Copies of this chain bind each other. A is one copy, B any other.
Amino acid sequence: MRAEYFNPFISATTEVFRTMLACELNRGQLGLKQNRSPLFEVSGMIGISGSLHGMVVVSLGRETAITATEILVGVRPEGLNSDVTDCVGEIANMIAGAAKTRLQESDLSISLPTVVCGKNHLVSFPSQSTPISLPFDSELGPICVEIGLAPSLVAC
């Protein structure tokens, strides 16, 4: 995957966490996603389509997701309830939206976010794609953004 595809996601993630959660992120080592690596317990997923198509997954641990929701909503949720999944979906949505404005392709659109909860769930991208993994550390805990994005053969 080309740097011009994933650099917008690095700055979008940093910006969303800074402006929405008052949280500075420290970037870890960017890597090719090992296709079967487990993620954290809560993953916000959003599809991207247009002249590029792909999927972005924003994954957080349970405590990180709960604390992020507390910051956004003002009340600490008791466990992984619908407030938390809504907030994680909205964080994924903001990151994808902010990255979209930074990508050169002007015809991109993003899907409705969905949120997956479950211990040790795996997210697999198609094996012919080369998704990358962007780990970040923060005072809220570690987060990981995974991106699989490819040019569409025919803009569909």
Determine whether the beta carbon of A118 is less than 8 Å from that of B115: no
Instruction: Pick the residue among B112, B121, B122 that contacts A55 (CB under 8 A).
Output: B112
Q: What residue of chain B has the Cβ atom nearest to residue A82's Cβ? A: B127
Q: Least Cβ distance of A121 to chain B in Å?
A: 3
Query: For residue A81, which residue of chain B has the nearest CB?
Result: B36
* A48-B110 Cα distance, complex, nearest whole Å: 8
Known: A47-B47, A82-B36. Is A116-B123 also a contact (CB below 8 A)? Answer: yes
Q: Indicate if the CB atoms of A117 and B111 lie closer than 8 Å.
A: no
Question: A109 touching B55 by the CB < 8 A rule?
Answer: no
Q: Does A133 contact B (CB under 8 A)?
A: no
Contact indicator A111/B55 (Cβ below 8 Å) = yes
C-alpha gap A57/B118 in the complex (Å): 16
Binding site for B on A (CB under 8 A): 35-36, 43, 45-50, 53-55, 57, 82, 85-86, 89-90, 109-127, 129, 148-150, 152, 155-156
Q: Which 9 A-B pairs have the closest CB atoms?
A: A47-B47, A47-B111, A118-B121, A49-B109, A85-B124, A118-B118, A115-B124, A117-B122, A54-B112
